[in-house]
Amino acid sequence: MRQDAYDRNPELYRQAANRKRKYRREPGGPDSPEGRRRRHLQEAYGITPEDEKRLLELQGGLCPICGSPAQVVDHCHTTGRVRGLLCQKCNRGLGHFMDNPVMLVRALEYLTQSRSEYHRTKTVASE
């Protein structure tokens, strides 16, 4: 159906497409990348791009967990409070553990235990 309307008046569709492109290209316009980012930060986290920039400066531009460049806003899913900026991997890791400190401690214990058992097994096997 849409193709029929386009075939009847293609110039009308071209003009509309050009208006949309121009609107998106306006720096800071609501549909520009900056405008969409501003809206996302405000709606999702209640912060502005300036707030995000201040957080990034406070953290030295780095993820506080692994030291990689910080790229994403980390927030508490219960309270909605912004905790800081993390790299993608660390943010996803916390998400997979459902922001549960008990699970993270268990994961640390598991890694520590399995590491020492691996070395014990490897040492015994090589003797």
Shared-domain flag, residues 114 and 79: no
Residue 24 lies in a domain: yes
How much is the pLDDT for 16? Answer: 79
How much is the pLDDT for 84? Answer: 97
Q: With cut-offs at 50, 70 and 90, classify the pLDDT of residue 60.
A: very high
How much is the pLDDT for 31? Answer: 74
Domain that holds residue 127: 97-127
Report the percentage of the chain scoring pLDDT > 90: 56
Cβ–Cβ under 8 Å, residues 75 and 85: no
Give the chain's domain count. 3
Whether the per-residue pLDDT at 41 is higher than 90: the answer is yes
Rounded to 5°, the CA angle 45-48-51 comes to 95
Shared-domain flag, residues 75 and 89: yes
Alpha-helical regions (H) of the chain: 2-8, 10-25, 33-45, 49-58, 88-96, 101-126
Q: What average pLDDT score do residues 36-47 get?
A: 94
Shared-domain flag, residues 82 and 102: no
Shared-domain flag, residues 75 and 57: yes
How much is the pLDDT for 34? Answer: 87
Residue 38 lies in a domain: no
Q: What is the tens place of the pLDDT at every residue in 68-121?
A: 999 999 999 889 999 999 999 999 999 999 999 999 999 999 999 877 666 666
Whether the per-residue pLDDT at 51 is higher than 90: the answer is yes
The whole-model pTM stands at 0.68
Structure tokens given for 99: 């922001």
Shared-domain flag, residues 90 and 101: no
Residue 7 lies in a domain: yes
Between 120 and 32, residue with greater pLDDT: 32
- Cα–Cα distance between 122 and 10 in angstroms, integer? 72
Residue 36 lies in a domain: no
Whether the per-residue pLDDT at 24 is higher than 60: the answer is no
Residue 85 lies in a domain: yes
Find the CATH number of the domain harbouring 75: 3.40.1800.10
